[in-house]
Structure formats: structure tokens, C-alpha cells
């Protein structure tokens, strides 16, 4: 386990049945899912976070980074947050290239 990226990630919804088409779309894209699960562990997210993940995933597919430093530049371009450090990009790199898979588990949301 990375000091930056916990796996499995506990989420309080089923991505296959969640009543949010944009969120379902993220979970249909492996790279966007990885970004959504990992980056939200490092930063506070806004209502635009899902779009940032989809756009970043698209750019990674169109022009794949060759190393974690290039990945950091792509992340910085899309998320523009100081929390997305070079060290975080280095920890994320094996997930982006498919050497590791970021898992998630469904966890009940307290109070629901």
C-alpha cells in the first residue's frame, strides 16, 4: 500500500446503480475510476471533480505519459492543486500503467 493511496477504497454507493449518470460514466472508464478513487484521497473535491477525472483520463489515453513526472504534469494541468505532488504521481504511476489495480469496496453510509 502506498503512503498516499489506500486500497481498497471504501465508497458509500454502488457505481453500477448510483442515481448519477456522470458518476456512473466515470466508473465505466478504468483510468477515470482510478483517478477518482486515488486523487480524492489527496484533495478536497468540488462539484467539478468528476469532469476533471474524465478529462484527465481522456488526455492520458490520447497522449500517454512516459513516466511519473509526465503524469504529474498532466495531473497538475487538470487538478491544479498543490496536494497533487510529484510524490503522489509516483505512487499513482503503477495504477495508471496497469501494474497495480486500485480496488474499491462498498461500505454502508452511516445514517442511511
What pTM value is reported for the model? 0.89
pLDDT at 2 over 70: no
Q: How many helices, marked H, and strands, marked E, lie in the chain?
A: 5, 2
What mean pLDDT do residues 34-48 have?
91
Please tell me whether residue 25 adopts helix, strand or coil conformation.
Answer: helix
pLDDT at 1 over 50: no
Domain layout of the chain by residue ranges: 9-106
The CA radius of gyration of the chain, in Å to the nearest whole number, is 14
472508464: which residue's cell? 29
Q: How high is the mean pLDDT of the chain? A: 91
Question: What is the pLDDT, as a whole number, of residue 84?
Answer: 84
What mean pLDDT do residues 90-95 have?
96
Going by C-alpha positions, the residue among 11, 34, 52 that lies closest to residue 89 is: 34
Residues forming beta bridges with residue 21, ordered by sequence position: none
Measured CA to CA, the distance from residue 15 to residue 67 in angstroms comes to: 30
Percent of the chain with pLDDT over 70: 95
Question: What is the pLDDT, as a whole number, of residue 110?
Answer: 59
> Which region among 23-37, 52-66, 74-88 has the lowest average model confidence (pLDDT)?
74-88
Amino acid at each position: 500500500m502506498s503512503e498516499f493511496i489506500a486500497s481498497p477504497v471504501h465508497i458509500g454507493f454502488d457505481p453500477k446503480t448510483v442515481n448519477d449518470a456522470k458518476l456512473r460514466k466515470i466508473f465505466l472508464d478504468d483510468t477515470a475510476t482510478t483517478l477518482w478513487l486515488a486523487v480524492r484521497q489527496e484533495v478536497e473535491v468540488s462539484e467539478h471533480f468528476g469532469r476533471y477525472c474524465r478529462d484527465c483520463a481522456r488526455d492520458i489515453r490520447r497522449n500517454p505519459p512516459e513516466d511519473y513526472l509526465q503524469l504529474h504534469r498532466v495531473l497538475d494541468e487538470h487538478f491544479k492543486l498543490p496536494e497533487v505532488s510529484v510524490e503522489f504521481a509516483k505512487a499513482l504511476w503503477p495504477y495508471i500503467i496497469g501494474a497495480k489495480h486500485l480496488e474499491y469496496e462498498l461500505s454502508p453510509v452511516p445514517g442511511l
